[in-house]
């Protein structure tokens, strides 16, 4: 049972465009929502994260939008660059269970 | 360099063979985790160790065993490998109660034929 659903599975964006990846969850016990970036041959690395009491968080070209009532959150990458080509995972953290649950992943390709 | 070290990086096993994946961290973290990554499935938790001396099952524990050897090391054992265990395995560690403190190793790519 996938507790965090992520879409799309793959995404191709032109350089300079906006990349958008969406995630949805069901369990209201999740209380922290990080995004991880993974390059080929490497492990995932924390990119940006948000708490549910905030609707948006921006770090450089990366923005998380969070809709608590809809139980959805998304990652926006502005001015996408070829170096952003990677696999992106959304995740949800259950503080009580001390566990991190991942979405299915999105393979992002930025064409030059 | 500080971080999580996994060995081996690649391994091919025959069905029924056994092997142990090794993981060591040098950040003095209390908690350690084993995940497997499969296309379209994301990362799924196999086993974790919240602190030295404890281990617990994750989402997909069947066919695996773990040992928390000491605070630094957490190994994953496949007693009788099956083709369904072909995957990329990631070890991670973090300090307890810090939700964004996960540090992942570079992974072990395992193929079972």
Q: At residue B14, what are phi and psi to the nearest 5 degrees?
A: -90, 150
pLDDT recorded at residue B1? 59
Residues 6+ apart with CB under 8 A from A80: A13, A14, A15, A16, A17, A18, A19, A61, A108, A110
pLDDT recorded at residue B29? 92
Average pLDDT of the segment spanning A16-28: 96
Average pLDDT of the segment spanning A44-65: 94
Look-up of token digits 């007693």: B79
For residue range B14-48, list pLDDT tens digits in order: 999 999 999 999 999 999 999 999 988 899 999 99
A-chain residues within 8 Å CB-CB of B31? 98
**B40 vs A105: CB contact, 8 Å cut-off?**
yes
Å between A49 CA and nearest CA of chain B = 8
A-chain residues within 8 Å CB-CB of B40? 9, 104-105
**A9 vs B40: CB contact, 8 Å cut-off?**
yes
For residue range B56-68, list pLDDT tens digits in order: 999 999 999 999 9
**A102 vs B44: CB contact, 8 Å cut-off?**
yes
Residues A83 and A102: their CA atoms lie apart, in Å, by 23
């Amino acid at each position: 049972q996938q507790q965090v659903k992520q879409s799309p599975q793959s995404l191709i964006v032109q350089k300079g465009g906006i990349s958008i990846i969406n995630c949805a969850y069901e369990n209201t016990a999740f209380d922290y929502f990080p995004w991880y970036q993974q390059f080929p041959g490497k492990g995932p690395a924390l990119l940006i994260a948000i708490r549910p009491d905030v609707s948006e968080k921006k770090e450089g070209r990366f923005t998380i939008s969070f809709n608590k009532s809809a139980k959805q959150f998304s990652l926006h990458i502005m001015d996408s660059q070829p170096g952003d080509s990677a696999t992106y995972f959304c995740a949800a953290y259950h503080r009580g269970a001390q566990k991190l649950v991942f979405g299915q992943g999105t393979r992002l390709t930025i064409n030059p | 360099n500080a971080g999580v070290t996994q060995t081996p990086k690649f391994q091919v096993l025959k069905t029924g063979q056994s092997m142990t994946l090794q993981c060591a961290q040098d950040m003095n973290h209390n908690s350690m985790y084993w995940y497997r990554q499969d296309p379209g499935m994301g990362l799924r938790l196999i086993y974790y160790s919240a602190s030295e001396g404890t281990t617990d099952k994750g989402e997909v524990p069947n066919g695996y065993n773990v040992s928390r050897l000491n605070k630094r090391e957490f190994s994953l054992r496949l007693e009788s490998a099956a083709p369904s265990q072909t995957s990329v395995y990631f070890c991670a560690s973090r300090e307890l109660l810090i939700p964004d403190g996960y540090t992942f190793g570079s992974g072990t790519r395992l193929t079972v034929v």
